[in-house]
Structure 1
Amino acid sequence: MESLRSGETTPLSAGVVSRTVRLSDAPRPRTALGAADPPRTFWAAPGEATVVGSGAAATVRADGPDRFRSVRAAADELFSSGDVHAGTLAARPRLFGGFSFHDDHTGREPWDGYPGARFVLPRRQTTFADDEVWLTVNAVGESPEEVERQLEEARETIRRRPTSGAVGDPPGIVERTETTSKSEWCEGVTAAIERIEAGELRKVVLAQALRASLSSPLSIPDALTRLGETYPDCYRFLFEPDDRGGGFFGATPERLVDLRGRTVETGALAGTTGRGETPEEDEWLAEELLADEKNAHEHDLVVGAVRKQLEPHAASIRTGTRRIRRLATVQHIETPITAELASDEHVLKLVEALHPTPAVGGLPPDRALETIRDTEPFGRGWYAAPVGWFDAAGYGSFAVALRSAVARGDVATLFAGVGVVADSDPDREWDEVQLKYRPILDELE
């Protein structure tokens, strides 16, 4: 594993040097992202700072079943020494990235440039926190004086940068190609139900992919801005390959895990229905969702599994009150879960323990993953996998990469899935997938 610096290779053990300054005349996140160098990074989450990353001071990659531990080991080496003046906690050096869903991820199209795990320490990052904006320059193995010089240059560049105009319209879709026909989908769901009835499975999450040819290349900064207006309470993200040959982006409602100190915040998000035309219809649909046996059973499986996955690490676990989570196009059943760890842990250890949750994989996990591989005619890549960030202390925030797409030029590949249990109906599950495409489709059409 290596850090990348101006095309050269620097040992991770050389140490992180980081300098930060507060900006008085600050850009907006969309402007900062549009002007960023590849690979660009974007992260915005409820209750967190919004971060725009430009370039890479260090990049950590890993593959295979040990990718979680390999990333952690490389990060420990990277953060083992350094000279950091952050100015504010939100602007501290952090690694941003994600993991593949499957251990044996191959990175085939459209996932070129996305290995089994990849995390970037941005060369420059702009942090939007508490009504203030901070500019940071990170480096590995460079002198503090050089980093301070680069910070001043970057600040001057921002001062001279013109303000970007209005957010553009979606590019429009000229053609759609489904990886799974409806008849193939129904066959796959029926086969999964037969496995459940035979006792091989309790639940499995099956997904589809949709390839959209666009009338012009997608502006991801514009798409993320529009998603923020429609889905302000979701986790918005962008991760690009080194060559900026594409971008994996989305606005997911599902938190995987958040770790601060020994306090863990996670939850279960499973069970879906649409939104009503009126407040009264909205309430009726929500009540029907909570009362529906199929969705309640699916949700209970997720809650129980998340608690079981946390138990080896926790001194205590508390399950909150079941509630409805309303988004622009759908409603979900949500149960918050909080735990206190028995000892200090790195967030990546919890990420590994929780992935994949039954909300995106199934039960039992091994049989569910086998069924997913047998059924889905495409590679999930980073879809439905952990994406987020962590810092030198091992604290961090990760979401499950749903409501997402990979965009490359004038082509975008979207992903969506549903949970299948014993009383699932293939036609209804098909309709639910189409509903879950909507957040990203709305930013393309």
Structure 2
Amino acid sequence: MEPLRGDETTVGETTVVARGCRLERAPVRAFLETDARPRFYWAAGTESIAARGSAATVTADGESRFADVRTAVEALFEGCSVPDDLPSAARPRLFGGFAFHNGDHDGASPWTGFPSAAFFLPEVQVTVRDEDAWLTTAATGPDAAAEAAALLDDWRDRLDTLSGRESPGPPGITRRERTPTQAGWRDQVGAALESVARGDLQKVVLAQSLRVALASDLSVPDVMERLSRTYPDCYRFMLSPEAGGTFFGATPERLVSVRGRTVRTEALAGSTGRGDTPAEDEWLAAELLDSEKDRHEQKLVADAIRDQLGPFATTVRIGDRTVRRLATVQHLRTSITAELGTDEHVLSLVEALHPTPAVGGLPPDAALRTIRETEAFDRGWYAAPIGWVDAAGNGTFAVGIRSAVATDREATLFAGAGIVEDSDPDREWDEVQLKYRPILDELE
């Protein structure tokens, strides 16, 4: 069907019918490799979801893109018929995300096919939670019930016949191109530090891009399977729009989860490497916890998130500062939980929180202006919200970091570092190289 834009009133007239059943087996990787777009993969904790094909899409751009998407999503679900016995985990969701910048995302290469905001209701969705698996199908239009039922019968049979194959491993890299160079990075960080010293900025996150040519075709579903083994505690995601490349990653940072009136998020900032021995690992973690620069950077993020949640919440609880250990890097982390005063849609919280100072800076407007003026590439969907929303307005969105956008023989990786008072350009350069590792290790 034609895409439904967030500013169109016809969305509410769309009839959507969903059907579902339990599965004995769920060959997720083989399912994702079937030829259909858009496709989406999401894994967090004990839940993973694979989706393909579009029963309905929602797109929006401009300053009101968050509100426009929310309005369209609510209208779409209002006209959705779902069997009463379908468990909550298997009920339809819309999957998608947003570009980092508001209003000036042009979708140029490598972001061809990625608009400022896009979500889709999949024709076919496979959900795995703990030991249970479900198949959900959806269709629209006057024959939606019959079409959804036919899709269910077809895919129940197809999933029984899909078989896995042995992964060929990483494709290998033949060429690398960095933007900026290390000399250019020093200049960019130096200029940002001057703004901090003048009081124009408290913090700004500057990013780099690494464009690599691949020796063979890249199977992103293979990458997702390997990332799930290496980064099981991260949010693993993959989105292939109707046309263009595939955006994928394994991010440690949750932007927000909403379930009922409970909101969960976190402040993640400050970084160091992993040690070669347990003793060195502990030493690096202790050094990170004692670092005045990193604690200051992380506190800025936690305080800003608390202030952003303030208008919505009756209480905001900030946990103790801890160290989050990943395969190649360690971060300072503080969990944040809030109770809402009234029912709020997850997309309202996404709008309020994006971008957090962990990927943007403070003050927000000055930081975003600095990023636009400094970075010589389009962030696209990098460091932006990506996730899902359901009919109740619940959902989870991660921050699209530790990520890349790829075509068959090329990938562009992104990583950034928070620049605050006392930041050292060369140390920040080294930190960015660590943040490339999750994706780079799966390509080399």
TM-score, length-normalised on structure 1? 0.96
Amino acid in structure 2 at the alignment position of 1:415: F
Q: Provide the rounded CA distance (Å) in 2 between the counterparts of 1:306 and 1:37.
A: 38
- Structure-to-structure mapping, 1:272-311, within 5 angstroms: 272-311=271-310
Q: Provide the rounded CA distance (Å) in 2 between the counterparts of 1:149 and 1:224.
A: 30
What's the CA shift for 1:3? 4.2
Q: Provide the rounded CA distance (Å) in 2 between the counterparts of 1:143 and 1:37.
A: 20
Q: Provide the rounded CA distance (Å) in 2 between the counterparts of 1:46 and 1:383.
A: 22
- The residue aligned with 2:147 is 146
What's the CA shift for 1:30? 1.3
What's the CA shift for 1:156? 1.4
Structure 1 residue corresponding to 2:81, chosen from 72, 80, 83: 83
What's the CA shift for 1:154? 1.4
- The residue aligned with 1:105 is 105
- The residue aligned with 1:125 is 125
SS in 1 for 2:171: coil
Q: Provide the rounded CA distance (Å) in 2 between the counterparts of 1:324 and 1:288.
A: 11
What's the CA shift for 1:28? 2.6
SS in 2 for 1:273: strand
- The residue aligned with 1:7 is none
SS in 2 for 1:71: helix
What's the CA shift for 1:149? 2.1
SS in 1 for 2:242: coil
- The residue aligned with 1:434 is 433
- The residue aligned with 2:7 is none
- Structure-to-structure mapping, 1:336-375, within 5 angstroms: 336-375=335-374
TM-score, length-normalised on structure 2? 0.96
SS in 2 for 1:32: helix
Detail structure 1 runs of 4+ shifted over 6 Å in the superposition: none
Amino acid in structure 2 at the alignment position of 1:53: A
Contact 2:360 2:367 (8 Å CA) reproduced: yes
SS in 1 for 2:82: strand
- The residue aligned with 1:247 is 246
Contact 2:384 2:399 (8 Å CA) reproduced: yes
Q: Provide the rounded CA distance (Å) in 1 between the counterparts of 2:150 and 2:34.
A: 20
Q: Provide the rounded CA distance (Å) in 2 between the counterparts of 1:276 and 1:362.
A: 29
- The residue aligned with 1:330 is 329
- The residue aligned with 1:208 is 208
What's the CA shift for 1:12? 5.2
Q: Provide the rounded CA distance (Å) in 1 between the counterparts of 2:150 and 2:107.
A: 38
**Structure-2 change in CA distance of 1:30 and 1:426 (3 Å):** same
What's the CA shift for 1:273? 0.2
Q: Provide the rounded CA distance (Å) in 2 between the counterparts of 1:32 and 1:273.
A: 37
Q: Provide the rounded CA distance (Å) in 2 between the counterparts of 1:207 and 1:12.
A: 40
Contact 2:11 2:75 (8 Å CA) reproduced: no
**Structure-2 change in CA distance of 1:11 and 1:76 (3 Å):** closer
What's the CA shift for 1:106? 1.2
Amino acid in structure 1 at the alignment position of 2:71: A
Structure 1 residue corresponding to 2:55, chosen from 54, 57, 71: 57
Amino acid in structure 1 at the alignment position of 2:364: P
Residue 182 (str. 1) matches residue 182 (str. 2): yes
Contact 2:11 2:72 (8 Å CA) reproduced: no
Contact 2:247 2:406 (8 Å CA) reproduced: yes
Contact 2:272 2:285 (8 Å CA) reproduced: yes
Contact 2:254 2:399 (8 Å CA) reproduced: yes
- The residue aligned with 1:69 is 67
What's the CA shift for 1:146? 2.9
Q: Provide the rounded CA distance (Å) in 1 between the counterparts of 2:304 and 2:11.
A: 40
- The residue aligned with 1:157 is 158
Contact 1:250 1:440 (8 Å CA) reproduced: yes
Give ranges in structure 2 of 5+ residues lacking alignment. 5-9
Q: Provide the rounded CA distance (Å) in 2 between the counterparts of 1:387 and 1:174.
A: 30
Contact 1:36 1:55 (8 Å CA) reproduced: no
Contact 1:3 1:57 (8 Å CA) reproduced: no
| Range with bigger deviation, 342-351 or 79-88 | 79-88
CA RMSD of aligned residues (A): 1.3
Q: Provide the rounded CA distance (Å) in 1 between the counterparts of 2:147 and 2:108.
A: 39
What whole-Å deviation, never above 9, does each CA across 1:343-382 have from its counterpart, x for those lacking one? Answer: 0000000000000000000000000001101110000000
Q: Provide the rounded CA distance (Å) in 2 between the counterparts of 1:46 and 1:66.
A: 32
What's the CA shift for 1:139? 1.1
Contact 1:258 1:264 (8 Å CA) reproduced: yes
SS in 1 for 2:211: strand
SS in 1 for 2:388: strand
Amino acid in structure 2 at the alignment position of 1:317: V
Identity %: 58
SS in 2 for 1:123: strand
What's the CA shift for 1:36? 5.3
- The residue aligned with 1:419 is 418
What's the CA shift for 1:130? 2.7
What's the CA shift for 1:165? 1.6
Amino acid in structure 1 at the alignment position of 2:293: K
Q: Provide the rounded CA distance (Å) in 1 between the counterparts of 2:166 and 2:121.
A: 30
SS in 2 for 1:337: strand
Amino acid in structure 2 at the alignment position of 1:31: A
What's the CA shift for 1:185? 0.5
Q: Provide the rounded CA distance (Å) in 1 between the counterparts of 2:3 and 2:227.
A: 32
Q: Provide the rounded CA distance (Å) in 2 between the counterparts of 1:352 and 1:411.
A: 32
What's the CA shift for 1:159? 2.0
Q: Provide the rounded CA distance (Å) in 2 between the counterparts of 1:91 and 1:14.
A: 21
What whole-Å deviation, never above 9, does each CA across 1:178-201 have from its counterpart, x for those lacking one? Answer: 121111100000000000000100
What's the CA shift for 1:11? 5.2
What's the CA shift for 1:51? 0.6
Give ranges in structure 1 of 5+ residues lacking alignment. 5-9
What whole-Å deviation, never above 9, does each CA across 1:301-329 have from its counterpart, x for those lacking one? Answer: 00100000000000001011110100000
Corresponding residue pairs, total: 436
SS in 2 for 1:57: strand
What's the CA shift for 1:338? 0.2
What's the CA shift for 1:132? 1.4
Contact 2:264 2:338 (8 Å CA) reproduced: yes
Contact 1:360 1:384 (8 Å CA) reproduced: yes
Contact 2:27 2:159 (8 Å CA) reproduced: no
Contact 1:207 1:415 (8 Å CA) reproduced: yes
**Structure-2 change in CA distance of 1:3 and 1:21 (3 Å):** farther
| Range with bigger deviation, 256-265 or 31-40 | 31-40
What's the CA shift for 1:16? 1.6
What whole-Å deviation, never above 9, does each CA across 1:157-188 have from its counterpart, x for those lacking one? Answer: 22233x11222210000000112111110000
Residue 19 (str. 1) matches residue 42 (str. 2): no
